[in-house]
Amino acid sequence: MAQACIFCDIIGGKIKTDFLYEDGDVVAFADIRPIAPDHVLVVPRAHHATLTDAAGDGGPALLGKLLKVAGDLGAARGPEGGYRVVINNGAAAGQTVYHLHVHVISGRHFAWPPG
């Protein structure tokens, strides 16, 4: 039996969320636990648990589309076009929802290195 996935529920309409972007492959919506004044998630409609899982057949095109949408949203929403894009892959990297997603965060200064 498949595990419940909150992002699959959002994509499927079981959890109501306003999409900031959507097409046949990708949706974007505000993170419910933002770490910055502006925090958007860009999520593929197809379930891939991790970035590594999405790298198979058709993966490069999907990953490119995720980054294109993330870049477009970040440039449009971030002050002076500044934003950070993050993909956490696996528990050791801080991934808590196992459905590939890209964080687009802006609206404050981000130090380097992150974490």
- Positions marked catalytic: 101
Q: Do 54 and 62 form a contact (C-beta atoms < 8 A)?
A: yes
Which DSSP string corresponds to 9-72? HHHTTSS----SEE-SSEEEEE-SS-SSSEEEEEEESS--SSHHHHTSTTHHHHHHHHHHHHHH
Q: Do 89 and 51 form a contact (C-beta atoms < 8 A)?
A: yes
Beta bridge partners of 43: 27
